[in-house]
Structures are given as C-alpha cells and as structure tokens.
Amino acid sequence: MVPIILMIIGYLMTFVPLLMFWGAIVSLTGALVTFLVGTVYADLWAAHRRTQQMIKDRDERFADGEELPDIEDPASEDPFEETYDDE
C-alpha cells in the first residue's frame, strides 16, 4: 500500500512548480519499491513450487517401500573434505 501512496503523492507533487523534481523522485521511488517487492514475491513463489516438486518427485521415487538413503553412509563421504595426516 505504501508504494501506491508514494506514486500518488509524487504524481500530485508534480503539479506544484517548486516540488516537481521531488515529486518525480517520490513517484519513481514508489514504482521501484513496487517492482522490487514483486520480484522478491515471484522468487519466493518459484522456490516454493520448486521445493514442492522436489518433494513430490522424492515421494514417487521411494513409494515402493524403499528406505531413504542413509546420510551417514561412508560411501557418501564428502570428496572435498580435507584430511590431515599426523606426521
């Protein structure tokens, strides 16, 4: 609601000769805030959908009674983990 108010107030300020510049700045600030909030919302929505799809795919893969892979399985060690030998 705040960005819309900023755009309206900025637009109205452009009719006053001494406030034209500041009105344009306030109005463009409202437009930028609207764009940025929409971008963040779209990103969160896409991440939510992607997570839901991953959960669905995982449930379909392991629906036949298989257990989920063990995280502590030694075969799944981190290849980038550094080990130091005592000398």
Q: What is the pLDDT of residues 20-53, one digit of tens each?
A: 999 999 999 999 999 999 999 999 999 999 999 9
Report the domain count for the chain: 1
Q: Is residue 73 part of a domain?
A: no
Q: Is residue 71 part of a domain?
A: no
Q: Is residue 69 part of a domain?
A: no
Q: Is residue 78 part of a domain?
A: no
Q: Is residue 84 part of a domain?
A: no
pLDDT at 67: 64
Range of the domain at 20: 2-61
Report d(CA 8, CA 5) in Å as an integer.
Answer: 5
pLDDT at 87: 57
pTM: 0.56
Q: Is residue 81 part of a domain?
A: no
Report residue 84's pLDDT band, with 50, 70 and 90 as the boundaries: confident
Report d(CA 38, CA 24) in Å as an integer.
Answer: 21
- Sign of the CA dihedral with 44 first, then 50, 53, and 55 last: negative
Q: Is residue 51 part of a domain?
A: yes
